[in-house]
Chain A
Amino acid sequence: MPPQPIWTELQQRRYLKSSAPWRGCTYLLGGALLGAATLVVGLALTAVGAALTLVLIGIPLLTALPLTGIPLAALERRRMLLVDPTPAPTPHRTPEAPGIPAWCRLRLREQATWRELAYAVLFALVLWPLDLLVLACTVAFPVLLVAAPAHLAAAGGPGNDIRPAKLWLVDAYPAACATALLGLVLLLLLAHPLGAYSAARAAFARLLLAPRDAELAAGLAEVTRSRARLVDAFEAERRRIERDLHDGAQQRLVALTMSLGLARLDADPDSPLARQLAAAHDEAGRVLTELRELIRGIHPQVLADYGLSAAIEDVADRCALPVETAGVRLPRLPETVESAGYFAVREALANVGKHSGATRVHLTAAHTEGRLRIVVRDDGRGGADPARGTGLTGLADRLAVLDGTLAVTSPPGGPTILSVEIPCEAETEAEAEMEAGA
């Protein structure tokens, strides 16, 4: 059984048999030693800094003094796990730029740094003596009583006077054994206050050293931002690849087919050369067609030129099944939203074509109340499982970066309804009848 928080153990009958009293004792002992060390180091640093201020080197040293709470706090966060194994992550953020100056600037601005410093000061001046005092009362004192017989033996046996814990005179084994028994009872009785104090002590440390809600949220926001940056980078890369293929390979291939076409004109129509030229010409044409489809799959130019409405119509045109779109009229939306919406529609229609057995697809897309909503509904056999296959999961991940959602309902027997929602603001007013064919 993994260790429970001491506070939980305290409320159970088997507290004395559990590891909790031992852990509490270790925690306080460590606190007393570490606190004493902190006091010495802190005083030394302050003294050196103050002395060197006269020659100016001390000023940066004193400025760095608030940061000394940070390593101590890191150590304390690990130590408090002895009392309560609930993880205590660091409240600090990762600096955006490398290097010590950036790190220092960020740390000095963070509230957590100053809480940690406050803890360090309290620790060095108040908490460790308190830890030591509690240890002395609840552990050292009863242990001294328990040790009375051994103490007496060490002092030369009966007839010699000893004073266990400086309290009373003991000069015979019966009295020494009675003292030891008293010590044992006290040790067991005081184990509860010991546990309670260490639990309270660790809770106080946690209060100052663990991240606050706002700091956790800031960390989460940072993760979301970095994911968004990643998606943007992918998007930019796709566009670059598309452009490179379009401006490079495709142009060359078109030029090649032209040369082959001209060569065919010059060749004697019945010669073997003409036949080979014709084969080469056709092959080049097929490569060109394949390349065109490949480029379209990477990043459709129509998305950049005309926006999501036209791009959706375009995918619908290409779908093997009839797609009723009822005319999509969307304003221009942020690039990442348009791209995510486009790939969502493409994935949805591809799935319908592959798995559903549907004969018709109905697609609606609208931008209302600051949300883009796309719904794809088919009349297929249903039973689609979003967990199966990477297409829909990838889509959900992509949408999650934009705070969007993907919902699929697909009861056996159909219909399957896939809906996508992305919060976003329009960049232009909804277009008028832009495309007569829509």
Chain B
Amino acid sequence: MLLREGLIGVLGRFGHETVAAVGDADALRDAVSAYEPDIVVTDVRMPPGFQDEGLRAAVALRAERPRLPVLVLSQYVQRSYAAELLDTGDGTGVGYLLKDRVGQVEQFVEGLVSVAEGGTVVDPEVVRQLLRRRRDPLEKLTPREREVLALVAEGKSNAAVAGELVVSEAAVGKHIGNILGKLDLPPADGTHRRVLAVLAYLRG
């Protein structure tokens, strides 16, 4: 409730309009039919059961409308939730973020816009967990390449990665080429395709 009010405030501050704010999964479904929004933002937990109704609703919505961008906020990072979301549609126009991230209002709205435009945004925490898991093949990568990989998996563009690591965009491109080669991933164009390839690799 409190969170919803806050979110509407944040979105309004950045010039986005909230067409409907609802309290449970059924109301969410009705609101989507009524307003055809550009993006749906939902919490994993929702009334009445406070289990994972929000996630279930998001997955159901994506099954009906694979093109509908959905951003799911979670109390804490859970790979299973992220995996289930990324498996909806073709994995584009999906976001899975830790609820804490909404406090970083600018980055949060950036991510939200990216999802609305068909991007894939996964919380850095998920990426960190995935990286920790797939230790063996990742040992082939240099530390720098691993850093690049983490940022790519978060959905950052080459330019953004370059900015973060303070290197040239060309250097980033070269790192990415090396990474994809070492991990036997097909070279992909478009940021979110690449993100998906990397995430698929990390999950598999």
B-binding residues in A (CB < 8 A): 243, 246-247, 250-252, 254-255, 257-262, 264-265, 281, 284-285, 288-289, 292, 295-296, 301-302, 304-306, 310, 313-314, 317-318, 322, 434-437
Shortest CB distance A309–B (Å): 9
When distances are taken between beta carbons in the complex, the residues of chain A under 8 Å from B1 are: 251
Closest to A284 in B: B103
When distances are taken between beta carbons in the complex, the residues of chain B under 8 Å from A305 are: 51-52, 78, 80
B78–A252 CB distance below 8 A: no
B16 at the interface (CB under 8 A from A): no
Distance of A305 Cα from B129 Cα, bound (Å): 19
When distances are taken between beta carbons in the complex, the residues of chain B under 8 Å from A434 are: 80
Shortest CB distance A246–B (Å): 6
B50–A247 CB distance below 8 A: yes
Distance of A437 Cα from B199 Cα, bound (Å): 10
Contact partner of A260 among B7, B80, B83, B103, CB < 8 A?
Answer: B103
B106 at the interface (CB under 8 A from A): yes
Q: Which of B29-37, B112-120, B130-138, B149-157 contacts A (4 or more CB under 8 A)?
A: B130-138
B129–A436 CB distance below 8 A: no
A288–B76 CB distance below 8 A: no
Contact partner of B102 among A258, A281, A289, CB < 8 A?
Answer: A258
B76–A296 CB distance below 8 A: yes
When distances are taken between beta carbons in the complex, the residues of chain B under 8 Å from A322 are: 135
A295–B13 CB distance below 8 A: no
Query: Can you list 5 residue pairs at the A/B interface with Cβ under 8 Å?
Result: A250-B75, A254-B99, A295-B76, A314-B80, A437-B80
Distance of A304 Cα from B203 Cα, bound (Å): 22
When distances are taken between beta carbons in the complex, the residues of chain A under 8 Å from B130 are: 437
Closest to A302 in B: B78
Known: A317-B129, A436-B204. A295 touches B106 (CB 8 A): no
Distance of A288 Cα from B9 Cα, bound (Å): 20
When distances are taken between beta carbons in the complex, the residues of chain A under 8 Å from B98 are: 292
When distances are taken between beta carbons in the complex, the residues of chain A under 8 Å from B132 are: 317
A-binding residues in B (CB < 8 A): 1-3, 5-7, 9-10, 13, 44-45, 50-52, 75-76, 78-80, 83, 87, 98-100, 102-106, 129-130, 132-133, 135, 202-204
B203–A437 CB distance below 8 A: yes
B2–A262 CB distance below 8 A: no
Contact partner of B75 among A262, A295, A313, CB < 8 A?
Answer: A295
The binding surface of chain B is classed by DSSP as helix
Distance of A302 Cα from B133 Cα, bound (Å): 18
When distances are taken between beta carbons in the complex, the residues of chain B under 8 Å from A264 are: 105
Contact partner of A317 among B44, B51, B133, B203, CB < 8 A?
Answer: B133
- Closest 4 A-B residue pairs measured CB to CB? A257-B103, A261-B105, A258-B6, A437-B203
A285–B103 CB distance below 8 A: yes
Shortest CB distance B96–A (Å): 13
A301–B75 CB distance below 8 A: yes
Please indicate which of the listed interface residues A247, A250, A251, A258 has the most CB atoms of chain B within 10 Å of its own CB.
A258
Closest to B135 in A: A322
Distance of A305 Cα from B83 Cα, bound (Å): 14
Distance of A266 Cα from B21 Cα, bound (Å): 25
A261–B100 CB distance below 8 A: no
B10–A262 CB distance below 8 A: yes
Closest to B14 in A: A265
A252–B2 CB distance below 8 A: yes
Distance of A292 Cα from B129 Cα, bound (Å): 16
When distances are taken between beta carbons in the complex, the residues of chain A under 8 Å from B105 are: 258, 261-262, 264-265
Closest to A434 in B: B80
When distances are taken between beta carbons in the complex, the residues of chain B under 8 Å from A257 are: 100, 102-104
Known: A246-B45, A284-B103, A289-B100. A262 touches B83 (CB 8 A): no
Closest to A293 in B: B76
Shortest CB distance B52–A (Å): 5
> Could you list 20 further interchain pairs (A-B, Cβ under 8 angstroms) beyond the known A254-B6, A285-B104, A292-B75?
A250-B75, A254-B102, A254-B103, A258-B3, A265-B106, A288-B100, A292-B98, A295-B76, A305-B78, A305-B80, A306-B78, A310-B79, A313-B79, A314-B78, A314-B79, A314-B80, A318-B129, A435-B83, A436-B83, A437-B79
